[in-house]
Chain A
Amino acid sequence: MSKQMTEILTQRARLLAQRKTTHYELAKSFVLVRVYQERLLLDLRALSRVESHTAATPLPLMPAGLKGLCYFRGEMVSVLDLGYILGFNQPVENGFLIFTRTDPVLAFQVTEIVDLLSFTVTEQRPYQGSSPYYEALSPQGDLFLNLPQVLQNPLIKRSLKESL
């Protein structure tokens, strides 16, 4: 064994001795959607289905933000405009429907399904704004949607109540 090889092995042994134990966090998957110009991240575990846009049947005197009803897997589902709920002033036309894993099921209309991404908790940066519907920011600046808080919106609660 040459002297040079001996030195390499010695340095490698030192590095192994100094290496600290690393705890790997489990990454969670999120679907990145676009509502108007805003990019939002939704936790996959809170969703049940993603479909291309299906025409929702409008109801007489239905409130703003409620696009209508659609039939999905044997039950009537309320289709809601996610942009209206989040305070955007322009309605979402066409796009995709994201079905929640709630009982009863709700569908949010979004403009585009952008990507499927995974983030650990440490990669998420705290959200400094005042809106209760966002809980964190991704390294790319996308907003993590706080879906349980969104479901507390009065329009959704009324929709859930009427559905029940």
Chain B
Amino acid sequence: MNETLLKFSLGRLRIGLKLVLIPAIFIFSMILMMSFVISAQQERRNDADIIDLLGRQRTLNQWYGKALLVAGHKQNQDYAYWRDTFLQTAQALEQGGQAVKTIHQPEMLNLPAAPTEALRAKIRQQQGLIKSIMALEVSFLTLSPQDPQYHIISQKMDQMSAGLHQMINEAVRMYRDYSVEKIDEMNRNVLILGLLISFLGLVLNWVISRAITQPLQDLTQRAHRVSRGQLGGEPLAIRSLDEVGQLTESFNTMTQSLRELAQQNNVSIKDLSASTAEILASTQQQNASTLEQVSALQETTATMEEVRQSGQQISTRAHEVTAESERSVNLTEDGLQSIQQTVGTMDNIRLQVNQVAENIVSLSEKNRAVGNIIAMVTDIAEQSNLLALNAAIEAAAAGEQGRSFAVVASEMKHLATQAKDATTQVRSILEEIQQGITRAVLLTEEAVKKVETGREQTDVADQTIRKMAQNTQQNIQAFQQIAAATNQQQLGFEQVFQALKDIRQGTEQTAVSTQQLNRACDSLNAMSQNLQSGVSRYQL
């Protein structure tokens, strides 16, 4: 719809053409007005000729009358020329046609018909009246000036000539009025036309100016919004196909591109920030790892130094151990003799432990016998207690006489209670003794088992020491080989030590580079955050 309107409106014109159109319209209006004025002036110019011819009719009438009078006196006079010119002019004025422009000149003037019916009637009356004079013409010329009829006809002809003169004046006045009316009409039309053209010019000027300025105002507002970072909103409507329309379209494309660019920038900056953070984290981790590597290399170097020194010591010690091993072989022989003695001692211990176990079992049986005796004593104590209670009852029944006996009964009961408590304590102690005996029996049994185990282990130790003696011989040979291998190992350690120094220098350089990279990542991260804050100003 808009495109259709654009095709048939001012919108399809270029701004230059629009700007040219304004003075063109003005010039066209001026030409139109001038044409109208010239046309009207041309008509008024014919009016002057017509008025002139109408006025000339008076002269022709006078010359016709004068020539006719002269001819009446019998003098040769061409009165018919004046009459015919009059009639020819009158006919041309009434119906249109050619008329003599100048008396006695062949130049002709082309006239239009009389514009009004009243004027045409007036001209026809003039023609009729001059034809009436022409009817009296023969009679007048035939009469003698002394003839009384002569004067009568002469007077009549004068009267008719005067009437014709009057009619001519009226016709001139009528045409002059008509001409004045036409001039007024022309002036009025010129004024109306001027106002109309001016109004149309203003309207067209306003429409063209608006067609140019309105899109520019929209563009200006949108440009202000874009300058503030507001890239959102619908694109501007394209109202014309001119340069402003192209500018609007380009502006919309630019805004869209800016929005897409800002969005891409936003996404890219977020990705950049995330990537920078990851790089920073990785760099920091790498930095820490590198520092750890440096530290580890330092430790490794130190360790290698220690290992190298240890290797030297191992080499030295290997020789010493070889000598010691030879001495150990001799000691192993002594150990075997000691093992034999230990076996004899273990047998004696086993016999003694068995005797202790038998004594403990006997002690346990005696303890149980004591427990039975204590149970009997407890029963006696309870019976004594009951007996004391019954004695107290009897004492109470005896009244005052039994009071002393009640005291004795009370003391008996007290003693029975103490005996009962004592037996309870003894029973408790006996139970503890029984538990100790039980534990001692268990320990003794375990001791017997351990002695047996010790005997077995002693046999194992005997075999082990013999194997050790054999192994020691093998170890002596192995240590001699170790001493030789250690010397070769020392050479390898020297090479490894040098390589570790090189690695350490490289790692320290890597640590320095990593720290520089870390600082660069910090800067990059700061730039990313600044860029992100800058892009966040755009409202998409």
Cβ contact within 8 Å between B397 and A116 = no
Taken together as a complex, chains A and B put the C-alpha atoms of A51 and B392 apart, in Å, by: 13
Beyond A29-B406, A116-B410, is A44–B386 a contact (Cβ under 8 Å)? no
Q: Which of B345-385 contact A (CB under 8 A)?
A: 382, 385
Closest to B403 in A: A26
Taken together as a complex, chains A and B put the C-alpha atoms of A96 and B386 apart, in Å, by: 10
Cβ contact within 8 Å between B396 and A113 = no
Closest to A48 in B: B393
The reply on A157 being an interface residue by CB < 8 A is: no
Taken together as a complex, chains A and B put the C-alpha atoms of A45 and B400 apart, in Å, by: 12
The reply on B390 being an interface residue by CB < 8 A is: yes
Beyond A29-B406, A44-B396, is A116–B386 a contact (Cβ under 8 Å)? no
| Other-chain residue from A44, A52, A101 in contact with B392 (beta carbon distance below 8 A) | A44
Which residues of chain A have C-beta atoms less than 8 A from B385's C-beta?
113
Closest to B406 in A: A29
Which residues of chain B have C-beta atoms less than 8 A from A121's C-beta?
none
The reply on A151 being an interface residue by CB < 8 A is: no
Beyond A29-B406, A116-B410, A116-B413, is A47–B386 a contact (Cβ under 8 Å)? no
Taken together as a complex, chains A and B put the C-alpha atoms of A113 and B413 apart, in Å, by: 12
Closest to B383 in A: A52
Taken together as a complex, chains A and B put the C-alpha atoms of A128 and B230 apart, in Å, by: 99
Cβ contact within 8 Å between A116 and B390 = no
Closest to A113 in B: B389
Which residues of chain B have C-beta atoms less than 8 A from A47's C-beta?
393, 396
Cβ contact within 8 Å between B390 and A45 = no
Cβ contact within 8 Å between A50 and B406 = no
Taken together as a complex, chains A and B put the C-alpha atoms of A101 and B410 apart, in Å, by: 20
B interface, over-half SS:
helix
Which residues of chain B have C-beta atoms less than 8 A from A44's C-beta?
392-393, 395-397
Taken together as a complex, chains A and B put the C-alpha atoms of A51 and B389 apart, in Å, by: 10
What is the minimal beta-carbon distance from B378 to any residue of chain A, in angstroms? 13
Taken together as a complex, chains A and B put the C-alpha atoms of A29 and B399 apart, in Å, by: 11
What is the minimal beta-carbon distance from B380 to any residue of chain A, in angstroms? 13
Taken together as a complex, chains A and B put the C-alpha atoms of A29 and B393 apart, in Å, by: 9
What is the minimal beta-carbon distance from A52 to any residue of chain B, in angstroms? 6
Taken together as a complex, chains A and B put the C-alpha atoms of A51 and B385 apart, in Å, by: 11
Which residues of chain A have C-beta atoms less than 8 A from B386's C-beta?
50-52, 96, 113
Which residues of chain B have C-beta atoms less than 8 A from A116's C-beta?
388-389, 392, 410, 413
Which residues of chain A have C-beta atoms less than 8 A from B389's C-beta?
31, 50, 113, 116
Q: Which of A110-159 contact B (CB under 8 A)?
A: 113, 116
Closest to A49 in B: B390
| Other-chain residue from A50, A51, A101, A113 in contact with B397 (beta carbon distance below 8 A) | A101
Cβ contact within 8 Å between A45 and B397 = yes
| Other-chain residue from B390, B395, B410 in contact with A50 (beta carbon distance below 8 A) | B390
What is the minimal beta-carbon distance from B335 to any residue of chain A, in angstroms? 71
Taken together as a complex, chains A and B put the C-alpha atoms of A31 and B386 apart, in Å, by: 11
Which residues of chain A have C-beta atoms less than 8 A from B395's C-beta?
44
Taken together as a complex, chains A and B put the C-alpha atoms of A48 and B389 apart, in Å, by: 10
Closest to B413 in A: A116
Taken together as a complex, chains A and B put the C-alpha atoms of A116 and B406 apart, in Å, by: 11
Taken together as a complex, chains A and B put the C-alpha atoms of A96 and B388 apart, in Å, by: 15
Which residues of chain A have C-beta atoms less than 8 A from B392's C-beta?
29, 31, 44, 116
Which residues of chain A have C-beta atoms less than 8 A from B393's C-beta?
31, 44, 47-50
Taken together as a complex, chains A and B put the C-alpha atoms of A113 and B397 apart, in Å, by: 19
What is the minimal beta-carbon distance from B416 to any residue of chain A, in angstroms? 11
Which residues of chain B have C-beta atoms less than 8 A from A48's C-beta?
393, 397
Which residues of chain A have C-beta atoms less than 8 A from B397's C-beta?
44-45, 48, 101
* B392, B395, B396, B397 interface centre (most CB from chain A within 10 Å): B396
Closest to A29 in B: B396
| Other-chain residue from B396, B410, B413 in contact with A45 (beta carbon distance below 8 A) | B396
Which residues of chain B have C-beta atoms less than 8 A from A45's C-beta?
396-397
Which residues of chain A have C-beta atoms less than 8 A from B388's C-beta?
116
What is the minimal beta-carbon distance from B436 to any residue of chain A, in angstroms? 33
Q: Which of A88-112 contact B (CB under 8 A)?
A: 96, 101
Which residues of chain A have C-beta atoms less than 8 A from B413's C-beta?
116
Taken together as a complex, chains A and B put the C-alpha atoms of A43 and B399 apart, in Å, by: 13
What is the minimal beta-carbon distance from B127 to any residue of chain A, in angstroms? 174
What is the minimal beta-carbon distance from B375 to any residue of chain A, in angstroms? 16
Q: Which of A47-82 contact B (CB under 8 A)?
A: 47-52
Which residues of chain B have C-beta atoms less than 8 A from A50's C-beta?
386, 389-390, 393
Which residues of chain B have C-beta atoms less than 8 A from A31's C-beta?
389, 392-393
Which residues of chain A have C-beta atoms less than 8 A from B390's C-beta?
49-50
Taken together as a complex, chains A and B put the C-alpha atoms of A31 and B406 apart, in Å, by: 13
Closest to B396 in A: A44
What is the minimal beta-carbon distance from A160 to any residue of chain B, in angstroms? 20
Taken together as a complex, chains A and B put the C-alpha atoms of A45 and B398 apart, in Å, by: 9
Taken together as a complex, chains A and B put the C-alpha atoms of A67 and B389 apart, in Å, by: 24
Closest to A101 in B: B397
Closest to B389 in A: A50
Which residues of chain B have C-beta atoms less than 8 A from A52's C-beta?
382, 386
Taken together as a complex, chains A and B put the C-alpha atoms of A48 and B395 apart, in Å, by: 10
Which residues of chain B have C-beta atoms less than 8 A from A96's C-beta?
386
Taken together as a complex, chains A and B put the C-alpha atoms of A97 and B447 apart, in Å, by: 55
Taken together as a complex, chains A and B put the C-alpha atoms of A145 and B396 apart, in Å, by: 17
What is the minimal beta-carbon distance from A111 to any residue of chain B, in angstroms? 15
Closest to A31 in B: B389
Which residues of chain B have C-beta atoms less than 8 A from A49's C-beta?
390, 393
What is the minimal beta-carbon distance from B253 to any residue of chain A, in angstroms? 106
Taken together as a complex, chains A and B put the C-alpha atoms of A101 and B398 apart, in Å, by: 12
Closest to B410 in A: A116
Taken together as a complex, chains A and B put the C-alpha atoms of A29 and B204 apart, in Å, by: 145
What is the minimal beta-carbon distance from B115 to any residue of chain A, in angstroms? 157
Taken together as a complex, chains A and B put the C-alpha atoms of A31 and B413 apart, in Å, by: 12
Closest to B385 in A: A113
What is the minimal beta-carbon distance from A64 to any residue of chain B, in angstroms? 28
4 additional A-B residue pairs with CB within 8 Å, beyond A29-B392, A45-B397: A31-B389, A44-B396, A50-B389, A113-B386
The contact sample of 15 A-B pairs, CB cut-off 8 A, is A29-B396, A29-B406, A31-B389, A44-B395, A44-B396, A48-B393, A49-B393, A50-B390, A50-B393, A51-B386, A52-B382, A52-B386, A96-B386, A113-B386, A116-B388
Which residues of A are at the interface with B, using a C-beta cutoff of 8 A?
A: 29, 31, 43-45, 47-52, 96, 101, 113, 116
3 A-B pairs closest in CB distance: A44-B396, A45-B396, A47-B393
